[in-house]
Chain A
Amino acid sequence: MNYIEHIGKYFTMLGQVFKRPQKMRIFKEALFRELDDLGNKSLGISAFIAFFVGGVVAIQTALNVDNPMIPKYLIGFATKRSIILEFAPTFVSVILAGKVGSFITSSIGTMRVTEQIDALEVMGINSLNHLVLPKILATVFFYPFIISISMFLGILGGYVAGMLTGLFSTVDYIDGIQLEFNPYFVKYALIKTMVFAFVIATIPSYHGYYVKGGALEVGRASTQAVVWTSVVIIVLNYFLTQILLS
């Protein structure tokens, strides 16, 4: 199957996904389960990565700012900008593409090869709507929350790195992060996050839903899903940045 066919099939799938749920009670149960599986359980790894990446960004910036003419508060300023604009939304989303994407593909793929999806269809249930829509809503509405926490922890990581290494003072760092705060950058980051979240939920769902074969094919589909999700995130990141910031 060529790329055009895959893209067509992906959008046809979305057409089935965005339908009114057949039973609201079941849908709400599924949504809360997905919020826990895809959102809550991703919080720990996102926080951990954001904190350390923040520290690394601050240290690297400090090491590159060795000219005495450049004020030290720019380390905090640069760290804040890098984390809000890029590291939190994009870096964490790529990490989530790996963690959540493989989970989504393998869980839906296993349902496919063990005929659980056929069982839903035989019952007269729109399986795509039943399985994928709660995942989309859970990621699109929960990931901005994860990324906001990641932004805070990334900046905090830079602060802690300054304290531990002594490369810059915490006073300068705090001055830097308070300098020229632009709320639009946070908005830009959260818009990006929501788009990435949609991609993280739908591309792995597509790969899992249409898998054929057995365990080996489910494994291959998971790998493919993570690769394609990451590629699409990186490409969309470029276009979104151009559209929203230029």
Chain B
Amino acid sequence: MIEVKNIHKSFGDAHILKGISAVFEKGKTSLIIGQSGSGKTVFIKTLLGLFQPEEGDICYDGINYRSMSTDQRRDLRKQIGMVFQGSALFDSATVAENVMFPLKMFTEQPLSEMLDRVNSVLKRVDLVNANDKYPAELSGGMQKRVAIARAIVMNPKYLFCDEPNSGLDPRTAILIDNLIQEITDEYNITTVINTHDMNSVMEIGEKIVFLRNGLKEWDGTNNEIFITENKAVTDFVYSSELFKKVRKAYLLEREGKI
């Protein structure tokens, strides 16, 4: 479980995060949503320790990140898997080398064991016969799968994804969402996803945190988001005509009018 308390983060005069608090539970997929510029990426990077907050606390399973020693922080990082928006695969390394990198860095396993583990996670993300390919030879969806494989190869306790299905076609995006959801259930990990994809919200949003102008405007589940009266949320989530109709139909059905 990750508990965030009153996080503030500024860059120069720009106050980006203005006191956000949230809880991300173990075994659940939590989504952070919000418009571009709402502070989602800064928030997730602050959770990861890439940015240091000026104020507030982040607790990983009850242990405050601020009070951790350097060794504890290093150990924590080994338990974190991250899928970046652009996949962030190492260009000069093959798929297998990319996935194997954390194992080589942090374990003393023999090469054969590492290869077995790499093949097993690549199979888990439905990516076979791609071990010797370079990232530039893969499609966007395949790159995301490799990034997920690299993120889970060390059996992480926490999985973070920054817009995992941006730039993907709707079908591939849903496959990636489902894959993340399955992995979260299977490994019982705490998953936090940064997205503004409404399909993801409807498909896998067990918990949703809506950010607006650096503040938490709303949180709830993907069922609650249908009935919320929060105007900022409804304006954001139901900005398309299609979703407006879906919501209207849902509310009418809920009231027994259809």
Contacts and interface: CB of A to CB of B under 8 A. Distances in A.
Chain A complexes with chain B: yes
Interface of A: 22-23, 25-26, 110, 114-116, 118-119, 121-125
B78 A118 contact: no
Nearest to B76: A124
B88 A118 contact: yes
B74 A124 contact: yes
Contact of B48 (A26, A116, A122, A125): A122
A124 B84 contact: no
A115 B44 CA distance: 14
Nearest to A25: B104
Contacts of B49: 121-122
Contacts of A116: 88-91
Interface in B49-99: 49-50, 73-78, 80, 82, 84-86, 88-91
A26 B93 CA distance: 13
A125 B105 contact: yes
Contacts of A118: 45, 50, 82, 84, 88
B88 A123 contact: no
A115 B50 CA distance: 11
A18 B160 CA distance: 30
B77 A110 contact: no
Task: Kindly state the interface size class of chain B when it binds its partner.
Answer: 20 to 34
A123 B84 CA distance: 12
Contact of A122 (B77, B86, B91, B105): B77
Interface of B: 45, 48-50, 73-78, 80, 82, 84-86, 88-91, 101-102, 104-106, 160
A30 to B, nearest CB: 11
Contact of B78 (A25, A26, A110, A124): A124
A26 B76 CA distance: 21
B84 A119 contact: yes
Contacts of A121: 49-50
12 contacts: A22-B105, A23-B105, A23-B106, A116-B90, A118-B50, A119-B82, A121-B49, A121-B50, A122-B48, A122-B49, A122-B50, A122-B82
Nearest to A33: B92
A75 to B, nearest CB: 47
Chain B CB within 10 A, most for which of A23, A26, A116: A116
B102 A114 contact: no
Given A122-B48, A123-B78, A114 B88 contact: yes
Contacts of A119: 82, 84, 88, 90
Nearest to A113: B86
A115 B105 contact: no
Contacts of A25: 104
A127 B88 CA distance: 14
Which of A25, A26, A115, A121 has the most chain B CB within a 10 Å cutoff?
Answer: A115
